[in-house]
Amino acid sequence: MSKKVYIFMFIDALGWEIVNKYQFMEKTFPYRYPAKMQFGYSCTAIPTILTGQPPTKHQHLSFYYYDPNNSPFHFFKYLKFLPSSIFDSWRFRHLMSRLIKKMKGYTGYFELYAMPFERLPYFDYIEKKDLFIPGGLSPVPNIADELEKREIPYHISNWRLSEQQNIDAMKTALEKGEINFSFLYTAAMDGLLHQVTKDGKEIPEKLDWYEKQIAEILTAAEKNYDECKLFVMSDHGMTTLTEAVDVKKEVEKTNFQFGKDYAAVYDSTMARLWFFNDFARKEINQKLQQIPHSHVLDHEEKVKYNIDFPDNKFGETILLMDPGYQIAPSDMGLEPLPGMHGFAPEHEDSFASFLSMEDLETPPKWVGNYFDVMVSKMEALKN
Ligand SMILES: [Zn+2]
Protein backbone atom coordinates (compact mmCIF):
# COMPACT_ATOMS: atom_id res chain seq x y z
CA MET A 1 0.00 0.00 0.00
CA SER A 2 1.35 3.44 -0.89
CA LYS A 3 2.12 5.80 1.94
CA LYS A 4 -0.04 8.94 1.82
CA VAL A 5 -0.32 12.19 3.71
CA TYR A 6 -2.99 14.89 3.45
CA ILE A 7 -2.08 18.35 4.71
CA PHE A 8 -4.72 21.03 5.30
CA MET A 9 -3.04 24.38 5.79
CA PHE A 10 -5.16 27.10 7.34
CA ILE A 11 -4.05 30.66 6.60
CA ASP A 12 -6.20 33.05 8.61
CA ALA A 13 -7.74 35.84 6.47
CA LEU A 14 -6.26 34.70 3.13
CA GLY A 15 -9.34 35.99 1.31
CA TRP A 16 -10.44 35.16 -2.23
CA GLU A 17 -9.62 38.69 -3.38
CA ILE A 18 -5.95 38.52 -2.35
CA VAL A 19 -5.53 35.02 -3.75
CA ASN A 20 -6.75 36.30 -7.13
CA LYS A 21 -5.03 39.66 -7.10
CA TYR A 22 -1.60 38.10 -6.53
CA GLN A 23 -2.36 34.82 -8.34
CA PHE A 24 -1.10 33.09 -5.24
CA MET A 25 0.62 29.77 -6.17
CA GLU A 26 -1.50 29.15 -9.25
CA LYS A 27 0.85 26.47 -10.56
CA THR A 28 0.86 24.44 -7.34
CA PHE A 29 -2.87 24.88 -6.76
CA PRO A 30 -4.69 24.91 -10.10
CA TYR A 31 -8.06 24.15 -8.48
CA ARG A 32 -9.28 27.26 -6.68
CA TYR A 33 -12.59 27.92 -5.03
CA PRO A 34 -14.15 30.95 -3.32
CA ALA A 35 -15.93 29.98 -0.10
CA LYS A 36 -18.57 32.01 1.68
CA MET A 37 -17.45 32.91 5.16
CA GLN A 38 -19.52 32.10 8.22
CA PHE A 39 -21.26 35.23 9.53
CA GLY A 40 -19.21 36.42 12.52
CA TYR A 41 -15.50 36.31 13.37
CA SER A 42 -12.77 33.69 13.66
CA CYS A 43 -14.30 32.55 16.96
CA THR A 44 -17.23 31.17 14.96
CA ALA A 45 -15.38 30.38 11.70
CA ILE A 46 -12.89 28.03 13.39
CA PRO A 47 -15.58 25.92 15.13
CA THR A 48 -17.49 25.86 11.81
CA ILE A 49 -14.42 24.64 9.90
CA LEU A 50 -13.52 22.09 12.58
CA THR A 51 -17.02 20.57 12.75
CA GLY A 52 -18.72 21.37 9.42
CA GLN A 53 -21.65 22.65 11.48
CA PRO A 54 -23.17 26.16 11.71
CA PRO A 55 -23.22 28.33 14.88
CA THR A 56 -26.73 27.17 15.84
CA LYS A 57 -25.26 23.64 16.17
CA HIS A 58 -21.81 24.22 17.71
CA GLN A 59 -23.09 27.23 19.73
CA HIS A 60 -20.11 29.54 19.06
CA LEU A 61 -20.78 32.96 17.53
CA SER A 62 -19.00 35.73 19.43
CA PHE A 63 -16.89 35.70 22.59
CA TYR A 64 -19.36 37.35 25.00
CA TYR A 65 -22.99 36.40 25.65
CA TYR A 66 -25.47 37.55 28.27
CA ASP A 67 -25.58 35.14 31.19
CA PRO A 68 -25.12 36.88 34.58
CA ASN A 69 -25.89 33.69 36.54
CA ASN A 70 -22.96 31.83 35.04
CA SER A 71 -20.61 34.75 34.50
CA PRO A 72 -17.06 33.93 35.56
CA PHE A 73 -16.39 37.66 36.06
CA HIS A 74 -18.32 38.42 39.28
CA PHE A 75 -15.22 39.34 41.22
CA PHE A 76 -14.73 42.39 38.99
CA LYS A 77 -17.43 44.04 41.12
CA TYR A 78 -14.87 44.23 43.91
CA LEU A 79 -12.27 45.97 41.74
CA LYS A 80 -14.36 49.11 41.25
CA PHE A 81 -11.99 51.18 43.39
CA LEU A 82 -9.22 50.85 40.80
CA PRO A 83 -8.69 53.96 38.63
CA SER A 84 -9.63 53.64 34.97
CA SER A 85 -6.02 54.40 33.97
CA ILE A 86 -5.17 50.92 35.32
CA PHE A 87 -8.47 49.28 34.34
CA ASP A 88 -8.24 50.28 30.73
CA SER A 89 -4.57 49.63 30.12
CA TRP A 90 -3.89 46.82 27.69
CA ARG A 91 -1.20 45.38 29.99
CA PHE A 92 -3.53 45.12 32.97
CA ARG A 93 -6.28 43.55 30.86
CA HIS A 94 -3.92 41.01 29.36
CA LEU A 95 -2.59 40.16 32.82
CA MET A 96 -6.17 39.77 34.14
CA SER A 97 -7.03 37.55 31.14
CA ARG A 98 -4.09 35.28 31.95
CA LEU A 99 -5.00 35.19 35.62
CA ILE A 100 -8.67 34.29 35.01
CA LYS A 101 -7.64 31.69 32.44
CA LYS A 102 -5.40 30.03 34.99
CA MET A 103 -7.85 30.30 37.90
CA LYS A 104 -10.73 28.84 35.90
CA GLY A 105 -8.65 26.25 34.08
CA TYR A 106 -9.66 27.50 30.62
CA THR A 107 -7.71 25.93 27.76
CA GLY A 108 -9.20 27.98 24.91
CA TYR A 109 -8.31 31.38 23.50
CA PHE A 110 -9.19 33.78 26.29
CA GLU A 111 -8.80 37.54 26.12
CA LEU A 112 -10.91 40.24 27.83
CA TYR A 113 -10.41 42.74 24.99
CA ALA A 114 -11.89 46.17 25.78
CA MET A 115 -15.10 45.09 27.53
CA PRO A 116 -15.67 47.62 30.37
CA PHE A 117 -14.95 45.85 33.67
CA GLU A 118 -18.23 46.94 35.28
CA ARG A 119 -20.10 45.16 32.46
CA LEU A 120 -18.19 41.89 32.59
CA PRO A 121 -20.33 40.35 35.41
CA TYR A 122 -23.33 40.31 33.01
CA PHE A 123 -21.59 38.07 30.51
CA ASP A 124 -20.18 34.62 30.04
CA TYR A 125 -17.37 33.80 27.61
CA ILE A 126 -17.72 31.10 24.94
CA GLU A 127 -14.20 29.83 24.21
CA LYS A 128 -13.30 28.09 27.46
CA LYS A 129 -11.95 24.93 25.85
CA ASP A 130 -9.23 24.20 23.29
CA LEU A 131 -11.31 23.73 20.13
CA PHE A 132 -8.69 21.71 18.26
CA ILE A 133 -8.33 18.68 20.54
CA PRO A 134 -10.64 15.64 20.74
CA GLY A 135 -13.88 16.66 22.47
CA GLY A 136 -13.01 20.36 21.97
CA LEU A 137 -16.46 21.13 20.58
CA SER A 138 -18.30 18.30 22.28
CA PRO A 139 -21.05 17.14 21.85
CA VAL A 140 -20.42 18.12 18.20
CA PRO A 141 -17.51 16.03 16.84
CA ASN A 142 -14.54 17.99 15.44
CA ILE A 143 -11.82 16.78 13.03
CA ALA A 144 -9.69 15.47 15.93
CA ASP A 145 -12.64 13.27 16.99
CA GLU A 146 -13.06 12.10 13.38
CA LEU A 147 -9.36 11.20 13.15
CA GLU A 148 -9.36 9.37 16.49
CA LYS A 149 -12.48 7.44 15.48
CA ARG A 150 -10.72 6.22 12.34
CA GLU A 151 -7.42 5.63 14.17
CA ILE A 152 -5.54 7.79 11.65
CA PRO A 153 -2.14 9.05 12.90
CA TYR A 154 -2.33 12.86 12.73
CA HIS A 155 -0.72 16.16 13.61
CA ILE A 156 -2.83 19.21 14.51
CA SER A 157 -0.98 22.47 15.21
CA ASN A 158 -0.87 24.05 18.62
CA TRP A 159 -2.62 27.40 17.93
CA ARG A 160 -0.79 28.98 20.89
CA LEU A 161 2.52 28.80 19.01
CA SER A 162 3.78 31.17 16.32
CA GLU A 163 3.20 30.19 12.71
CA GLN A 164 6.92 29.57 12.21
CA GLN A 165 6.89 27.17 15.19
CA ASN A 166 3.81 25.44 13.80
CA ILE A 167 5.36 25.06 10.35
CA ASP A 168 8.55 23.66 11.89
CA ALA A 169 6.57 21.20 14.05
CA MET A 170 4.70 20.11 10.92
CA LYS A 171 7.93 19.54 8.98
CA THR A 172 9.38 17.52 11.87
CA ALA A 173 6.24 15.36 11.92
CA LEU A 174 6.55 14.79 8.16
CA GLU A 175 10.23 13.94 8.46
CA LYS A 176 9.39 11.24 10.98
CA GLY A 177 6.89 9.92 8.45
CA GLU A 178 4.47 8.69 11.09
CA ILE A 179 1.40 10.77 10.27
CA ASN A 180 -1.14 10.52 7.45
CA PHE A 181 -3.18 13.63 8.13
CA SER A 182 -2.31 17.13 9.25
CA PHE A 183 -4.03 20.39 10.06
CA LEU A 184 -1.53 23.25 9.98
CA TYR A 185 -2.68 26.45 11.65
CA THR A 186 -1.16 29.81 10.72
CA ALA A 187 -2.61 33.14 11.85
CA ALA A 188 -0.10 35.96 11.21
CA MET A 189 -1.71 36.98 7.91
CA ASP A 190 -4.83 38.07 9.80
CA GLY A 191 -2.89 40.36 12.12
CA LEU A 192 -0.97 41.83 9.19
CA LEU A 193 -4.12 42.49 7.13
CA HIS A 194 -5.82 44.18 10.09
CA GLN A 195 -2.89 46.61 10.19
CA VAL A 196 -1.89 47.19 6.55
CA THR A 197 -5.16 46.19 4.73
CA LYS A 198 -5.41 44.07 1.58
CA ASP A 199 -3.61 46.79 -0.40
CA GLY A 200 -0.57 46.94 1.90
CA LYS A 201 2.83 46.52 0.22
CA GLU A 202 3.66 43.93 2.89
CA ILE A 203 1.03 41.51 1.51
CA PRO A 204 2.90 40.23 -1.59
CA GLU A 205 6.03 39.78 0.60
CA LYS A 206 4.03 37.73 3.09
CA LEU A 207 2.54 35.64 0.26
CA ASP A 208 6.06 34.92 -1.04
CA TRP A 209 6.99 33.78 2.45
CA TYR A 210 4.05 31.35 2.57
CA GLU A 211 4.99 30.08 -0.89
CA LYS A 212 8.49 29.29 0.33
CA GLN A 213 7.15 27.54 3.46
CA ILE A 214 4.73 25.44 1.41
CA ALA A 215 7.52 24.41 -0.96
CA GLU A 216 9.62 23.29 2.02
CA ILE A 217 6.72 21.35 3.54
CA LEU A 218 6.13 19.58 0.22
CA THR A 219 9.81 18.71 -0.07
CA ALA A 220 9.80 17.25 3.46
CA ALA A 221 6.69 15.22 2.61
CA GLU A 222 8.01 13.97 -0.73
CA LYS A 223 11.05 12.45 0.99
CA ASN A 224 8.95 10.28 3.27
CA TYR A 225 5.70 9.63 1.42
CA ASP A 226 4.65 8.17 -1.92
CA GLU A 227 1.81 10.64 -2.17
CA CYS A 228 1.24 14.04 -0.58
CA LYS A 229 -1.65 16.41 -1.15
CA LEU A 230 -1.68 19.86 0.37
CA PHE A 231 -4.74 22.11 0.54
CA VAL A 232 -4.79 25.78 1.56
CA MET A 233 -7.87 27.22 3.20
CA SER A 234 -8.95 30.40 4.94
CA ASP A 235 -11.87 31.65 7.00
CA HIS A 236 -12.60 35.12 5.57
CA GLY A 237 -11.17 38.12 3.74
CA MET A 238 -10.54 41.67 4.99
CA THR A 239 -12.41 44.94 4.41
CA THR A 240 -10.63 48.29 4.52
CA LEU A 241 -11.91 50.89 7.00
CA THR A 242 -14.19 53.56 5.58
CA GLU A 243 -15.30 55.21 8.80
CA ALA A 244 -15.94 54.54 12.49
CA VAL A 245 -19.43 54.86 14.00
CA ASP A 246 -20.02 55.33 17.74
CA VAL A 247 -23.03 53.01 18.08
CA LYS A 248 -22.61 52.73 21.86
CA LYS A 249 -23.01 56.47 22.36
CA GLU A 250 -26.21 56.45 20.29
CA VAL A 251 -27.71 53.56 22.30
CA GLU A 252 -26.77 55.25 25.57
CA LYS A 253 -28.57 58.44 24.52
CA THR A 254 -31.84 56.57 25.19
CA ASN A 255 -31.02 56.74 28.92
CA PHE A 256 -32.06 53.17 29.67
CA GLN A 257 -30.04 51.44 32.34
CA PHE A 258 -27.52 48.81 31.31
CA GLY A 259 -28.16 45.57 33.19
CA LYS A 260 -31.65 46.59 34.31
CA ASP A 261 -33.37 47.52 31.03
CA TYR A 262 -31.03 46.02 28.49
CA ALA A 263 -27.60 44.54 27.91
CA ALA A 264 -25.37 45.00 24.86
CA VAL A 265 -22.11 43.78 23.44
CA TYR A 266 -20.40 45.98 20.87
CA ASP A 267 -18.30 43.82 18.58
CA SER A 268 -16.30 45.52 15.81
CA THR A 269 -18.92 45.09 13.09
CA MET A 270 -22.08 44.31 15.02
CA ALA A 271 -23.93 45.35 18.16
CA ARG A 272 -25.84 42.58 19.95
CA LEU A 273 -28.58 43.52 22.38
CA TRP A 274 -30.86 41.83 24.95
CA PHE A 275 -33.93 43.60 26.42
CA PHE A 276 -35.58 43.18 29.81
CA ASN A 277 -38.72 45.25 29.26
CA ASP A 278 -40.84 46.38 26.32
CA PHE A 279 -40.10 50.09 26.77
CA ALA A 280 -36.38 49.53 26.30
CA ARG A 281 -36.96 47.02 23.48
CA LYS A 282 -39.14 49.46 21.52
CA GLU A 283 -37.15 52.61 22.06
CA ILE A 284 -33.66 51.15 21.60
CA ASN A 285 -34.74 49.25 18.48
CA GLN A 286 -36.11 52.53 17.07
CA LYS A 287 -32.84 54.23 17.87
CA LEU A 288 -30.89 51.48 16.09
CA GLN A 289 -32.93 52.05 12.92
CA GLN A 290 -31.47 55.57 12.75
CA ILE A 291 -27.81 54.57 13.03
CA PRO A 292 -26.12 55.32 9.69
CA HIS A 293 -24.30 52.69 7.61
CA SER A 294 -25.95 49.76 9.37
CA HIS A 295 -29.11 47.68 9.55
CA VAL A 296 -30.84 45.41 12.03
CA LEU A 297 -30.82 41.78 10.88
CA ASP A 298 -34.32 40.45 10.24
CA HIS A 299 -35.35 36.89 11.01
CA GLU A 300 -34.74 35.71 7.42
CA GLU A 301 -31.15 36.94 7.55
CA LYS A 302 -30.57 35.22 10.90
CA VAL A 303 -31.90 31.98 9.38
CA LYS A 304 -29.74 32.43 6.27
CA TYR A 305 -26.60 32.95 8.36
CA ASN A 306 -27.49 30.10 10.73
CA ILE A 307 -27.49 32.38 13.75
CA ASP A 308 -31.23 32.04 14.59
CA PHE A 309 -30.64 30.80 18.14
CA PRO A 310 -34.04 29.94 19.68
CA ASP A 311 -32.91 31.37 23.05
CA ASN A 312 -31.31 34.48 21.48
CA LYS A 313 -28.07 33.38 23.12
CA PHE A 314 -25.99 35.95 21.23
CA GLY A 315 -28.55 38.75 21.26
CA GLU A 316 -32.20 39.38 20.51
CA THR A 317 -31.35 42.24 18.17
CA ILE A 318 -28.24 42.23 16.02
CA LEU A 319 -27.21 45.44 14.29
CA LEU A 320 -24.76 44.77 11.45
CA MET A 321 -22.57 47.54 10.08
CA ASP A 322 -22.22 48.08 6.31
CA PRO A 323 -18.90 46.85 4.87
CA GLY A 324 -16.08 49.23 5.86
CA TYR A 325 -17.94 50.91 8.75
CA GLN A 326 -16.62 49.77 12.13
CA ILE A 327 -18.11 50.26 15.56
CA ALA A 328 -15.60 52.28 17.60
CA PRO A 329 -15.15 52.44 20.45
CA SER A 330 -16.28 48.83 20.76
CA ASP A 331 -15.86 46.12 23.39
CA MET A 332 -13.16 44.63 21.16
CA GLY A 333 -11.08 47.79 20.88
CA LEU A 334 -11.30 51.50 21.52
CA GLU A 335 -9.99 52.52 18.09
CA PRO A 336 -11.02 51.20 14.66
CA LEU A 337 -8.45 49.11 12.77
CA PRO A 338 -7.28 49.82 9.19
CA GLY A 339 -8.82 46.47 8.15
CA MET A 340 -11.66 44.41 9.65
CA HIS A 341 -13.74 41.33 8.87
CA GLY A 342 -17.14 40.24 10.14
CA PHE A 343 -19.30 42.20 7.70
CA ALA A 344 -21.95 40.66 5.40
CA PRO A 345 -20.69 37.30 4.06
CA GLU A 346 -22.02 38.19 0.58
CA HIS A 347 -19.72 41.20 0.25
CA GLU A 348 -16.79 40.69 -2.16
CA ASP A 349 -14.18 41.43 0.54
CA SER A 350 -15.58 38.74 2.85
CA PHE A 351 -14.99 35.63 0.74
CA ALA A 352 -12.57 32.99 1.97
CA SER A 353 -10.58 30.74 -0.36
CA PHE A 354 -9.86 27.04 -0.75
CA LEU A 355 -6.92 26.00 -2.95
CA SER A 356 -6.32 22.45 -4.08
CA MET A 357 -3.74 20.46 -6.03
CA GLU A 358 -6.48 18.18 -7.35
CA ASP A 359 -9.94 18.63 -8.76
CA LEU A 360 -12.58 18.18 -6.09
CA GLU A 361 -15.74 16.21 -6.66
CA THR A 362 -17.68 18.50 -4.34
CA PRO A 363 -15.93 21.89 -4.12
CA PRO A 364 -16.56 23.83 -0.91
CA LYS A 365 -19.06 26.69 -1.20
CA TRP A 366 -19.04 27.72 2.46
CA VAL A 367 -16.19 27.42 4.99
CA GLY A 368 -18.09 24.67 6.84
CA ASN A 369 -17.71 22.50 3.73
CA TYR A 370 -13.92 22.24 4.34
CA PHE A 371 -14.82 19.72 7.03
CA ASP A 372 -16.48 17.49 4.40
CA VAL A 373 -13.36 17.67 2.22
CA MET A 374 -11.18 16.76 5.23
CA VAL A 375 -13.41 13.82 6.19
CA SER A 376 -13.48 12.60 2.56
CA LYS A 377 -9.67 12.51 2.64
CA MET A 378 -9.72 10.60 5.93
CA GLU A 379 -11.95 8.07 4.19
CA ALA A 380 -9.60 7.98 1.18
CA LEU A 381 -6.75 6.96 3.53
CA LYS A 382 -8.58 3.74 4.31
CA ASN A 383 -8.52 2.65 0.65
ZN1 LIG B 1 -8.92 38.99 12.45
**Residue 237: how many CA atoms within 13 Å on its side-chain side?**
27
Confidence at residue 84, expressed as pLDDT on a 0 to 100 scale: 73
Ligand 1 center from residue 85 Cα (angstroms): 27
Confidence at residue 78, expressed as pLDDT on a 0 to 100 scale: 75
Confidence at residue 103, expressed as pLDDT on a 0 to 100 scale: 86
Ligand 1 center from residue 42 Cα (angstroms): 7
User: 169, 161 in Cβ contact below 8 A?
Assistant: yes
Ligand 1 center from residue 149 Cα (angstroms): 32
Q: Using pLDDT thresholds of 50, 70 and 90, give the confidence band for residue 118.
A: confident
Lowest mean pLDDT among 114-128, 176-190, 265-279, 364-378: 114-128
DSSP 57-81: HH--SSSEEE-GGG-TTGGGGGGTT
- Read off the amino acid at residue 111: E
All residues at 6 or more sequence positions from 106 whose CB lies less than 8 Å from its CB, including other chains: 100, 127, 128, 129
Please list all protein residues whose beta carbon sits less than 5 angstroms from ligand 1, which is an ion: 190
Confidence at residue 92, expressed as pLDDT on a 0 to 100 scale: 84
Confidence at residue 210, expressed as pLDDT on a 0 to 100 scale: 98
What is the model's pTM? 0.95
Q: If you average pLDDT over residues 311-340, what whole number do you get?
A: 97
pLDDT tens for each residue of 326-361: 999 999 999 999 999 999 999 999 999 999 999 999
Give all domains of the chain, ordered by start, each with its CATH number. 4-56+138-240+348-381 (3.40.720.10), 64-125 (no CATH), 242-336 (3.30.1360.180)
All residues at 6 or more sequence positions from 136 whose CB lies less than 8 Å from its CB, including other chains: 50, 129, 130, 142, 144
pLDDT tens for each residue of 153-186: 999 999 999 999 999 999 999 999 999 999 999 9
**Higher-pLDDT residue of 287, 99:** 287
Strands 4-11 and 181-186: parallel
Ligand 1 center from residue 343 Cα (angstroms): 12
Ligand 1 center from residue 340 Cα (angstroms): 7
Confidence at residue 104, expressed as pLDDT on a 0 to 100 scale: 87
Ligand 1 center from residue 134 Cα (angstroms): 25
**Residue 287: how many CA atoms within 13 Å on its side-chain side?**
19
pLDDT tens for each residue of 67-92: 999 998 887 777 777 777 777 778 88
